[in-house]
Amino acid sequence: MNRFDFLQPTSLAEAIAAGSEPGAAYLAGGTNLVDLMKIGVSQPARLVDISHLPGLDAIDWRADGAVRIGALVRNADLAYDGRFAAAFPAVAEALLSGASAQLRNAATLGGNLMQRSRCAYFQDGASACNRRVPGSGCDALHGENRLHAVLGWSEHCIATHPSDLCVPLVALDAVVEIEGPQGAREIALDALHRLPGDTPEWENALLPGELIVAVRLPAAAKAFAAKARYLKLRERMSYTFAVVSAAAMLTVENGRIGEARLALGAVAAKPWRARAAEAALIGAAPNAESFAKAAELALAEARPSGANDFKIELARRILVRALTLAMEGTPDVMPALPASPFSTHAGDRHVA
């Protein structure tokens, strides 16, 4: 780990001034950044500790039913907030499916949004990685890539975004509030993370010195509370990242789907909103045929980036499964294994 200066500002303005200096990085829970510093992937010259800034650790409900979540709210606190979990159950399920209880107690909302790729080549300083060293190449293209992207990738980078939380948040039209040297602004969460294109080193839309201060969910997102699920298929049942994941949320009127919200995780360098699939479900009967058609549309542009063609069919199946379970209704009690695609009810089939 490199030597660095450590600053602990007492106000947001002071933090942004310090974070705008060259080589600075913001530190909150540190569950990702500190690991990257230990292996030499991230080498900030100064750490700006924002973990004690006032006003960024609250869950604020607006009069219209919208909610504003401060960037320093811990993952565990958000997941176990009763009012929040009842209004946005798929978000709570995603939170509880990530990492371990210890990490959820430390990790923050803002840090979750700013996670960096878990690609092994990105984390290995001896490997070529355009995301880490622009222009060096992408060893993942011809390496171990069975878990890499099937949507939105380029020959410059085939990494995926690791967040569980971001998948249902993108589906629910979450908005990110940002403060920076030029003042305050906000963007849709769907626009925060960038696809690699020719510049994979530009991982997100934040400008130098900018800091995420909150995430807002609109009141309209609560309409999906009764039929909402997040499913995550992983190589072991806990403490690991998704192979593929899906958020599915529905409203049903007179036996037909009124609205649908769909997003996929671990298939691209950003959470992948499946808007064409959502549109196809409006007015459709909520049955296996409609769900299969939606899944085909969601993966219509998918193509393997290596030895991962299986992920395309797997993503279709996990999306169908998520839609099926969402249609059955949000569980009254969080499943013992949150986000598991495997039912705890005897006799239920375990494949989509």
Q: What is the pLDDT of residue 199?
A: 98
pLDDT in tens, 234-276: 998 778 999 999 999 999 999 999 999 999 999 999 999 999 9
- What per-residue confidence (pLDDT) applies to 352? 40
Question: Which residue positions in the chain have pLDDT lower than 70?
Answer: 343-352
Tokens 């039912």 sit on residue: 343
3-class SS at 286? coil
The total of other beta-carbon atoms located within 10 Å of residue 281's CB is 25
How many Cα atoms occupy the beta-carbon half-sphere of 77 within 13 Å? 14
Q: In whole angstroms, how far apart are CA 178 and each of 44, 78, 295?
A: 21, 20, 34
Domain extent listing, the chain: 1-53, 224-328
| 180-215 confidence digits (pLDDT tens) | 999 999 999 999 999 999 999 999 999 999 999 999
Give the tens place of pLDDT for each residue, 302-320.
999 999 999 999 999 999 9
Q: Which CATH class is domain 1-53?
A: alpha beta
Q: Quick one: pLDDT at residue 21?
A: 97
- pTM for the model stands at 0.96
Q: Given phi > 0 = left and psi -120 to 50 = alpha, else beta, which region is 243?
A: alpha
Residue-level pLDDT at 158: 98
Do residues 165 and 75 lie in contact, with contact meaning Cβ atoms separated by under 8 Å?
yes
Alpha carbon of 213 to those of 12, 15, 64, 107: distances in Å? 9, 12, 21, 15
Q: Which CATH superfamily is domain 224-328 in?
A: CO dehydrogenase flavoprotein, C-terminal domain (3.30.390.50)
Tokens describing residue 260: 């649908």
